[in-house]
């Protein structure tokens, strides 16, 4: 698809330094579109960036006119910025949320439940504002995002494997996963922005394969060129191990272990139908 003919310009990319943002900017520029990239920490050597904070009440003063906006920042930051974007002429919005809205809603960890609630509340606020102001919106909810060497999910596993050579699992690691590459998400966002069928809808975006956690980990070993070595631990012992390792594994929680045996799967058939969603299989290379 020639995005230069389907996107309403000018194009603004919020959260452009994110995993998806780097791919989206590259693809837009290759298509002949000169996007305006927004970040609180823009690269010092790259032109075409705006240093801006979505929470700034004077945000509109620093923004140029916009047509299409891709929001890659945490979606709970977006509602406060919508009035400024409306003032600058937005007519099309593609915003990323997360399937964590559903998978963490009943988590035993209060912070994870709070994230799920924030995602759901922000989505509702975005939909409501856009409906009131005639802005065509699309919300995309990826599953497990990866981008070799850059993400905090699959690449974190790779880092543990490099460090220890073996990967402990909680139980047999039979919970299903659908890892999705950041580049595919950038491609999907552009396709959704240009598809009339995708207007005013939300989509769950999954990767090209559904794998058990153990199979996913095996693919990470293979992507590192290593022989898979995994140890199944009783869930209680795994949870204790994570708790003890928390000083050297920031963000690790017992809930991570319990989820290894839980299916976290979604359906992207509507995205395939409406804007040609076609993600790659999970074959990471590090």
The pLDDT, as a whole number, for residue 46 is 65
CB-count burial class (<10 Å; 0-12, 13-18, 19+) for 163: exposed
With beta carbons less than 8 A apart as the criterion, state whether 147 and 179 touch: no
- Residue whose entry in the numeric block shows the structure tokens 């609180």: 40
Residue 248's pLDDT is what? 65
Give residue 2's pLDDT. 66
Determine how many CB atoms are found less than 10 A away from the CB of residue 37. 25
Predicted confidence at residue 142, as pLDDT, reads 98
pLDDT of residue 136: 98
> What global pTM score does this model have?
0.93
What's the CATH class of domain 3-275? alpha beta
Helix (H) or strand (E) holding 67, with range, is none
Question: CA torsion angle for 91, 205, 189, 208 (degrees, to 10)?
Answer: -160
Q: What is the pLDDT of residue 6?
A: 78
| DSSP H helical ranges for the chain | 3-6, 19-30, 78-87, 100-103, 110-133, 154-164, 182-193, 213-223, 235-245, 254-259, 269-275
Q: In a structure prediction context, what are the per-residue pLDDT tens digits for the chain, which is 286 residues long?
A: 566 567 889 999 999 999 999 999 999 999 999 999 998 877 766 667 888 889 888 899 889 999 999 999 999 999 999 999 999 999 999 999 999 999 999 888 899 999 999 999 999 999 999 999 999 999 999 999 999 999 999 999 999 999 999 999 999 999 999 999 999 999 999 999 999 999 999 999 999 999 999 999 999 999 999 999 999 999 888 888 777 777 666 666 666 777 899 999 999 999 999 999 999 999 999 9
Report the Cα–Cα distance between both ends of the chain, in Å, rounded: 29
Q: What is the pLDDT of residue 79?
A: 97
Q: What is the pLDDT of residue 47?
A: 62
**111 vs 88: CA distance, rounded Å:** 35
User: Quick count: other Cβ atoms within 10 Å of Cβ 251?
Assistant: 9
Instruction: Identify the pLDDT of residue 62.
Output: 87
- Domain regions of the chain by residue span: 3-275
């Amino acid at each position: 698809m020639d995005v230069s003919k389907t996107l309403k310009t000018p194009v603004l990319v919020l959260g452009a330094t994110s995993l998806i943002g780097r791919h989206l900017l590259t693809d837009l520029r290759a298509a002949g579109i000169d996007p305006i990239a927004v970040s609180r920490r823009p690269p010092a050597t790259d032109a075409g960036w705006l240093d801006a904070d979505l929470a700034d009440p004077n945000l509109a003063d620093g923004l140029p006119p916009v047509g299409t906006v891709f929001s890659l920042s945490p979606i709970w930051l977006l509602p406060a910025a919508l009035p400024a974007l409306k003032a600058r002429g937005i007519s099309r919005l593609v915003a990323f949320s997360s399937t964590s809205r559903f998978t963490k809603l009943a988590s035993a960890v209060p912070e994870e439940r709070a994230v799920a609630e924030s995602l759901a509340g922000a989505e509702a606020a975005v939909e409501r504002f856009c409906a009131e102001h005639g802005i065509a919106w699309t919300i995309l909810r990826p599953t497990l995002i990866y981008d070799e060497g850059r993400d905090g999910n699959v690449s974190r596993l790779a880092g543990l494997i490099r460090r220890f050579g073996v990967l402990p699992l909680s139980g047999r690691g039979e919970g299903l996963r659908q890892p999705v590459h950041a580049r595919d998400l950038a491609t999907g966002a552009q396709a959704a922005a240009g598809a009339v069928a995708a207007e005013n809808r939300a989509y769950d975006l999954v990767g090209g394969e559904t794998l058990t956690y153990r199979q996913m980990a095996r693919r990470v070993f293979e992507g590192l060129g290593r022989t898979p070595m995994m140890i199944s631990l009783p869930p209680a012992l795994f949870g204790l191990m994570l708790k003890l390792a928390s000083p050297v594994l920031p963000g690790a929680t017992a809930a991570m272990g319990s989820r290894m045996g839980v299916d976290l799967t979604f359906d992207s058939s509507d995205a395939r139908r409406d804007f040609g969603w076609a993600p790659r299989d999970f074959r990471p290379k590090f």
